[in-house]
Amino acid sequence: MSEHANKVVIVTGGASGIGRQTVKEFVIQGAKVALADLNRAAGEEYATELRDAGHDVLFLYADVSKEADCENLIRTVVEHFGRLDVLVNNVGIEISTPIHEMPLNEWEKMQAVNVTSVFLNTKHALRVFLEQGGGTIVNVCSVSGLVAWPNIAAYNATKGGVLMLTKSIAIDYAKHNIRCNCVCPSIVDTPFTNASIGAENLEAIKKEKAKLNPIGRLGTPEDVANAILFLASDKASFITGSALTVDGGYTAI
Ligand SMILES: NC(=O)c1ccc[n+]([C@@H]2O[C@H](COP(=O)([O-])OP(=O)(O)OC[C@H]3O[C@@H](n4cnc5c(N)ncnc54)[C@H](O)[C@@H]3O)[C@@H](O)[C@H]2O)c1
């Protein structure tokens, strides 16, 4: 029996990149997975592909920056699968406007999508976990929650928020058999990274960025998904409030 067999898992942003791979790793281990995403076409297509391969997967449209969507997401998953065991708060966006030029609405959007979403999904999941007698949360943070990455101050600030929210949830709910951890990747090869670099000289720039990691390559979605599955598993039962770097040694320097 695999570690996650029959567990009910929500992965936000499950249609692309790290979230997409996380959904895959969970279903391979026999979990029942709800993937939530703003991208309805990609999410539905991926859920259908996984169902056709025999996995128990549900796609749910959600804009996780909106409370009604988060509440509906958690409620629908519990109605459909009967419980909730793991919440992976993975959604994140990056807007790299310099601070002195950043309009307030861009700052607010970053906060809403990257931090408020973690608060909202967690708030509604905790109510289920408290009733059930336990559960676990893994947040996808970033090395930029630990050390500042140049030219993305607003993003760094959101990831700092995710880190502190992770630790706070961990200590406040530990007595209720609820764990909360986060993973902190350095650059991972995903559509997010491609969009942030831009099309010109993409591969050459990625090669340069890979050199920032002592291991000498970019992270893969698998690297991060494996860490998420470990933190969500019973093998991590004494781990809560931790920020696991998945960064090829980037923050060890
Ligand atoms: N890629 C990297 O280099 C890297 C490094 C460190 C941390 N991270 C973090 O990892 C997480 C995933 O990043 P990724 O690279 O896989 O990104 P990605 O852009 O490939 O995937 C993100 C997914 O989230 C969805 N999404 C965006 N806004 C949403 C919203 N409001 N509601 C619901 N879904 C929404 C998108 O449609 C997309 O499917 C993010 O939190 C990001 O900050 C990424």
CATH of the domain at 97: 3.40.50.720
Q: Which domain holds residue 62?
A: 8-190+222-246
How far apart are the CA of 232 and the centre of ligand 1, in A? 19
User: Does residue 50 form part of some domain?
Assistant: yes
- Say which residue, 198 or 25, is predicted with more confidence: 25
User: Does residue 74 form part of some domain?
Assistant: yes
Question: Catalytic site residues?
Answer: 155
Residues 6+ apart with CB under 8 A from 119: 165
What average pLDDT does the chain have? 97
- The number of distinct structural domains making up the chain is 1
Residues enclosing ligand 1, CB less than 6 A?
Answer: 12-13, 15-19, 37-39, 62-65, 90-93, 113, 140, 142, 185, 187-188, 190-193
Ligand 1 atom closest to Cα of 224? Answer: 10
Measured between its terminal Cα atoms, the distance across the chain in Å is: 39
How far apart are the CA of 150 and the centre of ligand 1, in A? 19
Q: Per residue in 26-74, pLDDT tens?
A: 999 999 999 999 999 999 999 999 999 999 999 999 999 999 999 999 9
Ligand 1 atom closest to Cα of 42? Answer: 39
Ligand 1 atom closest to Cα of 155? Answer: 43
User: Does residue 3 form part of some domain?
Assistant: no
185 confidence band (pLDDT: 50, 70, 90) = very high
Residue % of the chain over a pLDDT of 90 = 96
User: Does residue 100 form part of some domain?
Assistant: yes
Residue nearest to atom 40 of ligand 1 (CA): 92
Q: Which of 93, 91, 87, 117 is nearest to 26 (CA)?
A: 87
How far apart are the CA of 31 and the centre of ligand 1, in A? 22
Pick from 12, 16, 22 the residue to mutate for probing ligand 1's pocket: most ligand atoms within 8 Å of its CB.
Answer: 16
What's residue 181's pLDDT? Answer: 99
What's residue 200's pLDDT? Answer: 87
DSSP label of 99:
G
Buried b (16+ CB within 10 A) or exposed e, 221-247: bebbbbbbbbbbbeebeeebbbbbbbb
Q: Per residue in 111-159, pLDDT tens?
A: 999 999 999 999 999 999 999 999 999 999 999 999 999 999 999 999 9
User: Does residue 199 form part of some domain?
Assistant: no
Q: Per residue in 188-210, pLDDT tens?
A: 999 999 998 988 899 999 999 99
Residue nearest to atom 20 of ligand 1 (CA): 17
What's residue 218's pLDDT? Answer: 97
pLDDT score of 1 more than 70 = no
Backbone angles phi, psi at 115, to 5 degrees: -115, -50
110 confidence band (pLDDT: 50, 70, 90) = very high
pLDDT score of 224 more than 70 = yes
User: Does residue 127 form part of some domain?
Assistant: yes
Residue nearest to atom 14 of ligand 1 (CA): 17
User: Does residue 226 form part of some domain?
Assistant: yes
CB of 221 closer than 8 Å to CB of 229: no
User: Does residue 205 form part of some domain?
Assistant: no
How far apart are the CA of 191 and the centre of ligand 1, in A? 9
Ligand 1 atom closest to Cα of 219? Answer: 3
Pick from 11, 91, 147 the residue to mutate for probing ligand 1's pocket: most ligand atoms within 8 Å of its CB.
Answer: 91
Mean of pLDDT values over 211-222: 97
